[in-house]
Structure 1
Amino acid sequence: MKRPTPIEAAKLFIHEQFPTCQAALLGGSVVRGEETATSDLDIVVIDEHLQTEYRESLISNGWPIEVFVHNMKTLRHYFQSDYKRARPSLQKMVSEGIPLIDHPIIDTIKREANHMLRDGPPEWSAETVRMKRYFLTDALDDLIGSTNRGESIFIANSIGELFHEFVLRSNRHWIGSSKWIVRALHEYDPQFAKEFVYAFEQFYREDDKMEIVRLVDSVLQIHGGRLFEGFSVGKDH
């Protein structure tokens, strides 16, 4: 039996599970036209009858579903939490979401989400940039000095996380995790994202570290280069 379309399945789910909710939105890859064979339905529900938020994964109408259930207070709390960590997962779901139930509150939460996405995350202080520069330098030195292939692989993984965060946060752009690292970099600068992927491909395929080293150094140079000597945390002066 053919399963319903994403919209049909999402509306059925809301009708069955949240018949008294104030609002519901379908977000995620299916609304961006980026779904894969393993994509699920991401659904945000606003229900003022609930005292606290929750998240649940389940199967309904032939679809895997992740539902994020909030009242307005908890939704705004998570907006702030995502803002501070610079990963606007909930804001993106709300911003791109297709309404499953018509309600004026949808315009309000979409407007709030869009304002946050447009304005970007909090600016890093000079001290934070300095600290992140030090940790990126430390990881880069580890990679350069490593002679163990297995260790080098996981050092490179760590650099990928630290480096993408440094580039994006020092330019007041949102960061990502997993597949969203490359997507976030592409939103910031498609050419830089291409160079980033190429550098790590060279290492993973050819065991060539130099493209990673070159690219990291080119970014660090803008902020004063690698940092080791003179860095300290918590020292009384």
Structure 2
Amino acid sequence: MIDMVATGVSIPVESERSLALKNYARGLLVNGPDKLDEAAIDDLRYSISDLVDDLRGDRPIHEQRSILYALYQKMGELRLRRSTRFSASGKHLARSLRECDSGFAERLEGVVAQAHVHGASSESVAELLRLLDQLGGHLFDGYRRSAPREKRKRPAWLA
């Protein structure tokens, strides 16, 4: 959305306000988002690790494809955010990943495309784990996250 405002055509016409908004959006893009804290990075790594582990099991191809699409989104998001870039989705994720790290993007796209057609193999899982290593590594066994005390309320239906 920010990129669309920064680079898009003003409708119905360009105005002082639209120019000010464009300049503001350009500034946001240059500065990037706030850095992710370690807890948020670990949450993404845990989620990605869980998905990669799911591909190791015997699953029908339609489930594998769903897992692969989720992996592409989450691994792309983590790669972008570790580089202090905004998250993206759909075609914008592919573009943003290539701008951020074309080598990583090509490898991720390649393994997802190959596994989409032929199914997940031990080689594709190994490649996903190598890519995950670039993002901080596999995180699953022993990972624990506790909800903040103020969020630990007993639901009314359990009272």
Range class of TM-score, shorter chain: 0.7 to 0.9
Q: Say if 2:131 is the partner of 1:219.
A: yes
- The one-letter code matched in structure 2 to 1:166 is L
Give me the whole-angstrom Cα distance separating, in 2, the residues matched to 1:165 and 1:211: 23
- Is 1:200 the equivalent of 2:112? yes
The match for 2:13 is 101
**Is the counterpart of residue 125 in structure 1 residue 37 in structure 2?**
yes
Q: Max radius of gyration: which structure?
A: 1
Structure having the higher helix fraction is 2
Change in Cα spacing, 1:147 to 1:109, as seen in structure 2 (3 Å) is closer
Identity percentage over the alignment?
25
Q: Which has the higher contact order (CA 8 A, sep 6+)?
A: 2
1:153 corresponds to: 65
Report the number of matched residues.
147
1:173 Cα deviation after fit: 1.5
Unaligned runs of 5+ in 2: 149-159
Inter-partner Cα distance in structure 2 for 1:103 and 1:201: 44
Structure-to-structure mapping, 1:124-203, within 5 angstroms: 124-203=36-115
C-alpha contact (below 8 Å) 2:78/2:135 kept by paired residues: no
1:173/1:215 CA distance change after superposition, 3 Å: farther
- Deviation string 1:161-194 (CA, Å, 9 cap, x unpaired) is 1111111112212222222221121121223222
CA contact (8 A) 1:163 1:216 kept: no
2: CA distance, partners of 1:210 / 1:121: 36
Q: TM-score, normalised by structure 2?
A: 0.80
Normalized against structure 1, the TM-score is what?
0.56
Q: Residue 147 of structure 1: CA displacement?
A: 3.2
Check conservation: 1:202, 1:209, Cα contact below 8 A: no
Go from structure 1 to structure 2 and tell me whether the alpha carbon gap of 1:102 and 1:134 turns closer, same or farther (over 3 Å shift).
closer
1: CA distance between counterparts of 2:147 and 2:90? 35
Q: What secondary structure is seen at the aligned counterpart in 2 of 1:123? A: coil
Higher strand proportion? 1
State the Cα RMSD in Å: 2.2
Question: 1:138: Cα distance to partner?
Answer: 0.5
CA distance in 1, matches of 2:108, 2:134: 17
- Output the amino acid matched with 1:201: A
User: Structure 1 residues 177, 151: closer, same or farther in 2, change over 3 A?
Assistant: same
- Name segments (4+ residues, structure 1) moved above 3 Å: 208-212
